[in-house]
Amino acid sequence: MSIENLRESVKRFKGVFMGSSILMIVVGILAIALPLAAGIGISEFVSWLILLMGFAYLVYAFAARGVGGFLWRLLLGIFYVAGGLYLAFHPGLGLVSLTLVLASILFAEGLMQIFGFFSLRALPGSGWLLFDGIVTLVLGLMIGLSWPSASAWAIGTLVGINFLFSGITRLGYAATCRKALG
């Protein structure tokens, strides 16, 4: 892509890029300010994804050749639909479960990064891996040790922080591109 084409694309899409960046910042601030509502919304979203997956399995079951494949897919579809419906009507339970999974993932990731540091410690800058591992491990422990009460703030706050920083980063990128390309 030539500089002229790039310049034209930036001009054409700068409003959309800036607008979506600002929207991400606003949504991030709202999620941080209302972490329980954001967490429930995320839980609802996940429950609907599970429900849609169940319907996909049910449709997939009728494409199966043979009774065994049909029954297996049908049962999976029924379990997915039942689980998705249950979580859709009990989003608090879904949020508590998601929080426990998140704490476990962060804890495991932190441990892996710390172990990774020990194999890479001779390399310059490897201390950042150790730092990231410790922060991630502490965050996982903080959420896990205060579970299930952490469910009220953890998912919504972390997603809010992600949206906020993604929006700020994109806004900065858009401004830099606009400035650099004229």
What Rg value do the Cα atoms of the chain yield, rounded?
Answer: 22
Tokens of 155: 């998912």
Contact 21, 167 (CB under 8 A): yes
Domain with 67, as residue range(s), is 3-181
Kindly tell me the sign of the dihedral angle through the C-alpha atoms of 33, 35, 36, 41.
Answer: positive
**Count of domains in the chain?**
1
Question: What pLDDT band is residue 6 in, cutting at 50, 70 and 90?
Answer: low
Residue 155 has a pLDDT of 92
pLDDT of residue 129: 87
- Per-residue pLDDT at 171 exceeds 80: yes
Render pLDDT for 93-105 as a digit per residue (tens, 0 to 9). Answer: 999 999 999 999 9
Residue-wise pLDDT for 103-124, tens only, equals: 999 999 999 999 988 988 888 8
pLDDT value of residue 1: 61
Confidence check: pLDDT of 134 > 90:
yes
- Find out whether 125 and 178 touch, Cβ atoms under 8 Å: no
Q: What percent of the chain has pLDDT over 70?
A: 94
Query: How far apart, in whole angstroms, are the C-alpha atoms of residue 126 and residue 79?
Result: 45
